[in-house]
């Protein structure tokens, strides 16, 4: 099924299986914005409760930043879904937790001028409470799942996610961030 712009969607481009967004961008000279939601599960440190720990997954088999540590749960926002809904869905799909008490952290506008990619808008959340024990639900996309102190992150971490994690560690993250400009 193909989609087209609806009333009130001036300046936006919908994406579908028929390549509508690419045609729209080519015809109107505008880029396509791809939204994604990220969830950093946080807890007090097991060795030192004053040190915050974050749950990270080791990516594999995704074709993007494989062999890098990343948010335990993250993914694209689907059509008709809010960023909050996507965060909850991804947490259930990727680490098997639900009923997250989400706190909005930042919206990150992201681009790369050295190669033609869509523009990105990433919504970052934290959760300190949830239901269920985090576990690897998608073993073909996740090689490992571990807790790390925010002040002792592994290497490598997906670069734009490291920006947010550093801001969380330093309590210096702004509600709007950008990378690649």
* Residue 12, pLDDT score: 37
Give the residues across from 71 on adjacent strands: 56
Q: What pTM did the predictor assign?
A: 0.83
| CA dist., res. 48 & res. 31, Å (int) | 46
**pLDDT per position as a tens digit, 163-173:** 999 999 999 99
Cα–Cα distances in Å, from 23 out to 16, 53, 58?
11, 44, 35
Section 79-106 average pLDDT? 98
Higher pLDDT pick, 120 / 17? 120
* pLDDT tens digits, 35-52: 999 999 999 999 999 999
| Record: fold of 33-179 | Nucleoside Triphosphate Pyrophosphohydrolase (3.90.79)
Write out the DSSP string of 117-163.
--EEEEEEEEES--BS----S-TTTEEEEEEEETTS--S-B-HHHHH
Higher pLDDT, 25 or 68: 68
pLDDT confidence band for 29 (50 / 70 / 90): low
Higher pLDDT, 18 or 37: 37
On average, the pLDDT of the chain sits at: 86
The region, left, alpha or beta by phi > 0 then psi within -120 to 50, assigned to residue 79 is beta
- For 73-87, write each residue's pLDDT tens digit: 999 999 999 999 999
Domain ranges of the chain: 33-179
**Structure confidence at residue 176 as a pLDDT band (50, 70, 90):** very high
């Amino acid at each position: 099924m193909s989609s087209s712009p609806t009333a009130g969607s001036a300046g936006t481009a919908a994406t579908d299986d028929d390549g509508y967004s690419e045609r729209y961008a080519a015809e109107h000279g505008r880029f396509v914005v791809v939204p994604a939601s990220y969830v950093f599960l946080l807890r007090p440190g097991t060795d030192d409760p004053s040190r915050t720990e974050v749950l990270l997954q080791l990516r594999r088999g995704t074709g993007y930043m494989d062999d890098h540590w990343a948010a335990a749960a993250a993914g694209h926002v689907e059509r008709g879904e809010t960023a909050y809904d996507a965060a909850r869905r991804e947490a259930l799909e990727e680490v098997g937790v639900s009923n997250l008490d989400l706190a909005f952290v930042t919206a990150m506008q992201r681009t790369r001028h050295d190669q033609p990619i869509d523009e990105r808008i990433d919504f970052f959340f934290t959760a300190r409470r949830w239901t269920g024990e985090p576990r690897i639900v998608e073993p073909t996309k996740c090689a490992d799942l571990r807790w790390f102190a925010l002040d002792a992150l592994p290497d490598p971490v997906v670069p734009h996610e490291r920006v947010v994690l550093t801001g969380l560690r330093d309590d210096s993250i702004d509600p709007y961030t950008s990378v690649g400009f």
